[in-house]
Chain A
Amino acid sequence: MSNVNVYKQRPDAAQAESPLFHASLHELVGKGSRNAGVNLREKKLLGHLTLRGDASDPTFASGVHSALGMELPVALTLTSSGDTSLQWMSPDEWLLIVPSGEEFAVEQKLREALAGQHISIVNVSGGQTLLELSGSKVREVLMKSTSYDVHPSNFPVGKAVATHFAKAQLVIRHTGEHTWELVIRRSFSDYFWLWLQDASAEFGLNISQ
């Protein structure tokens, strides 16, 4: 175990608020258009951990596997197991997303499995959030928002890229045929929320929980 100061960033007793708390999304559930082409759901307050290490080092890869039961994904891909996902962010960096409240235990497990190695684990849960978009018109909304090619021939299910979106930056993850996720920075959450409402208006937007 390293001597890094690891602590529970979100105590059980504290009232947590997502970056879109002010938007009161729960009050909008069911009030959107019928037959909406776009469904939006904030997967809020999940545990986001940034993991860094040497992918070519077998002891790193096997350590991650023993702690998570998942293989390190290769460039521009995402692997998931239940509600946990591991995404390639750069050649030596991955984003691990775990169910809300599990991040502290998972971080300790990873640190134990990777003890003595040249690695870094940072809990970034407070800095970003996840939006899930589903529906037949989601791809149309993405096409209006980013120059990245989101056609299935270039962007199959399981691919994930960091790119420009609405003149800002985020991560787009293709998680199901008509399901996509956006990893957005906390400080941009209101901007993207406004952008997505506007971009989805012509297709009908529904908020789900």
Chain B
Amino acid sequence: MLNIYCPHCSEMRSEEEFHAHGQAHIARPEDPGACSDAEWGDYIFFRDNPRGIHHELWVHSAGCRKFFNATRHTVTYEILETYKIGEKPSVTEASVAAAKASAEGVTA
């Protein structure tokens, strides 16, 4: 059982209160009518499936019923941070790589 921090309730809550809703930060095309079939199909159906850092949309369905984002590692399932809709993640593939490099004493 995982505990997940809800940024709206501001406390750790049991995983069973949440639902995951797939990849986050998918912007709806400004003008859907101007999209090609490929662009619209990409927006509707195609999602990333990374090995590592993944930004996801979650909902605190049994609690405050608000959506928020989570940064999760798809190998370890570790949830590295949660943040509100509209905010930017502080943990990214790049930030993790930079932290790893500095820990190993490598300078870019």
A-side interface residues toward B, CB under 8 Å?
75-76, 89-91, 147-148, 161-164, 169
B105 → chain A closest CB, angstroms: 42
**Distance between B30 CB and nearest chain A CB, rounded to angstroms:** 24
Chain B contacts for A91, CB-based, 8 A? 8, 64, 66
A164 B8 Cβ-Cβ under 8 A: no
Q: Mark B6-36, 1 if CB is under 8 A from A, else 0.
A: 0011110110110000000000000000000
- In contact, B62 and A169 (Cβ under 8 angstroms): yes
Pair A164/B66 contact, Cβ less than 8 Å: no
Query: Cα distance A182–B16 when bound, in Å?
Result: 19
What distance in Å separates the Cβ of B25 from its nearest Cβ neighbour in chain A?
21
Contact B64 A89 (CB under 8 A): yes
Count: A-B pairs, CB below 8 Å = 36
Question: In the bound complex, how far is the Cα of B17 from the Cα of A63, in angstroms?
Answer: 33
Q: How many angstroms from the CA of A209 to the CA of B19 in the assembled complex?
A: 39
Q: Is the pair A147, B14 in contact by a Cβ cutoff of 8 Å? A: yes
- Known A-B contacts A89-B64, A90-B66, A91-B64; the reply to A164 vs B10 at CB < 8 A is no
CB of A198, distance to nearest CB on chain B (Å): 21
Are B8 and A161 touching (Cβ within 8 A)? no
**B47 CB-CB contact with A under 8 Å:** no
With A75-B9, A75-B10, A76-B11 known to touch, is A90 a contact of B65 (CB < 8 Å)? yes
Give every chain A residue within 8 A of B89 (Cβ-Cβ).
Answer: none
| Contacts A76-B11, A91-B8; A162 near B62 (Cβ below 8 A) | yes
Contact A147 to B16, CB < 8 A, known contacts A75-B8, A76-B11: yes
Q: In the complex, what residue of chain A is closest to B84 when comparing beta carbons? A: A91
Separation in Å of the A133 CB from the closest CB of chain B? 20
Assuming the A-B contacts A76-B11, A148-B14, are A164 and B62 also in contact, with contact meaning beta carbons closer than 8 angstroms in the complex? yes
Determine whether the beta carbon of A164 is less than 8 Å from that of B9.
Answer: no
13 intermolecular pairs with C-beta atoms under 8 Å apart:
A90-B8, A90-B65, A90-B66, A91-B66, A147-B1, A148-B14, A161-B63, A162-B62, A162-B63, A162-B64, A162-B65, A163-B62, A163-B63
Q: Specify the chain A residue showing the minimal Cβ separation from B66.
A: A90
CB distance from B74 to the nearest CB of A (A): 25
* Residues of A contacting B63 in the complex (Cβ-Cβ under 8 angstroms): 161-163
**Complex contacts, B16 vs chain A, CB 8 Å:** 147, 164
Tell me the nearest residue of chain A to B12, going by C-beta: A149
The 8 A-B pairs at the shortest CB distance, nearest first, are namely A90-B64, A147-B14, A169-B62, A162-B63, A164-B62, A91-B8, A90-B66, A164-B16
